[in-house]
């Protein structure tokens, strides 16, 4: 496996993402990884490494800048511009996607995006924006948007993996997402996992000390398997 930190710039901001490539020099499918709200950390980088181990080229983008997590005390303020503007979220996401697809080993016709927490929202916004993605997967991702997908806009398959007991993504938000996907004519699925709350994929989540933010190994494992199944269907060998 080859890994590297990649500096790139978009709209006057310096970003630093993390690239992971499988061994060899052949052309492979690519996966964009969008980190959790606090920033590009070991969780997102480890996901990129796991994907490279499966034979994909993975690029973990950075949507805060400089490739470092933000202090939790500043998180709400830093996320606010992205939360308030789907256009900004999509623009930042597309800048990361461009870094992935520009790599010589990436087959730009076989690309997916996944994300966690707000990163999952970013991945879904890319799908809504008609980005050329064969698959999009959101893990404990916010499902709401102020710019719903237009009919026919989503070109790839969409999978959202949500904890049944996640208070940050209530049932009415899930229902609205279902209605949006139907109206868009998307190939979509929503999987809801019992016993799971927010950040169920992150082994470090329990350190937050918040009852709504906890790692849940069974859901982590099962949702990853659901993603792998979708990738096998949409990205091919």
Backbone angles phi, psi at 131, to 5 degrees: -60, 145
- 172-226 per-position pLDDT tens digit: 999 999 999 999 999 999 999 999 999 999 999 999 889 999 999 999 999 999 9
Phi-psi bin for 87: left (phi > 0), alpha (psi -120 to 50), beta? alpha
CA distance 153 to 131: 9
Of 60, 80, 230, residue with least CA distance to 161: 230
Sequential pLDDT tens for the chain (237 residues): 999 999 999 999 999 999 999 999 999 999 999 999 999 999 999 999 999 999 999 999 999 999 999 998 899 999 999 999 999 999 999 999 999 999 999 999 999 999 999 999 999 999 999 999 999 999 999 999 999 999 999 999 999 999 999 999 999 999 999 999 999 999 999 999 999 999 999 999 999 889 999 999 999 999 999 999 999 999 986
Give all domains of the chain, ordered by start, each with its CATH number: 2-234 (3.40.50.1820)
- Decide: helix, strand or coil at residue 58: strand
Write down the pLDDT at residue 128: 98
pLDDT of residue 13: 96
pLDDT of residue 237: 60
Where are the alpha helices (H) located in the chain, listed in sequence order? 42-53, 75-84, 86-101, 118-128, 171-184, 217-234
């Amino acid at each position: 496996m080859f890994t590297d930190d990649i500096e790139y710039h978009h709209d006057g901001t310096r970003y630093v993402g993390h690239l992971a490539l499988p061994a060899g020099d052949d052309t492979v499918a690519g996966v964009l990884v969008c980190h959790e709200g606090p920033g590009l950390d070991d969780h997102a980088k480890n996901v990129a490494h796991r994907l490279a181990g499966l034979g994909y080229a993975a690029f973990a983008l950075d949507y805060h800048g400089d490739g470092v997590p933000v202090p939790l005390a500043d998180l709400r303020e830093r996320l606010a511009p992205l939360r308030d503007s789907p256009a900004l979220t999509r623009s930042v996401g597309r800048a990361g996607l461009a870094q992935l697809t520009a790599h010589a080993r990436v087959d730009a016709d076989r690309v997916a995006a996944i994300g966690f927490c707000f990163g999952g929202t970013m991945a879904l916004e890319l799908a809504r924006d008609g980005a050329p993605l064969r698959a999009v997967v959101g893990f404990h991702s916010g499902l709401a948007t102020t710019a719903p997908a237009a009919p026919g806009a989503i070109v790839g398959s969409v999978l959202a993996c949500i904890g049944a007991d996640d208070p940050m993504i209530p049932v009415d938000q899930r229902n609205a997402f279902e209605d949006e996907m139907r109206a868009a004519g998307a190939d979509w699925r929503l999987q809801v996992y019992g016993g799971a709350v927010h950040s169920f994929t992150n082994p470090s989540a329990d350190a937050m000390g918040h009852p709504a933010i906890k790692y849940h190994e069974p859901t982590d494992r099962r949702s990853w398997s659901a993603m792998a199944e979708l990738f096998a269907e949409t990205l091919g060998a």
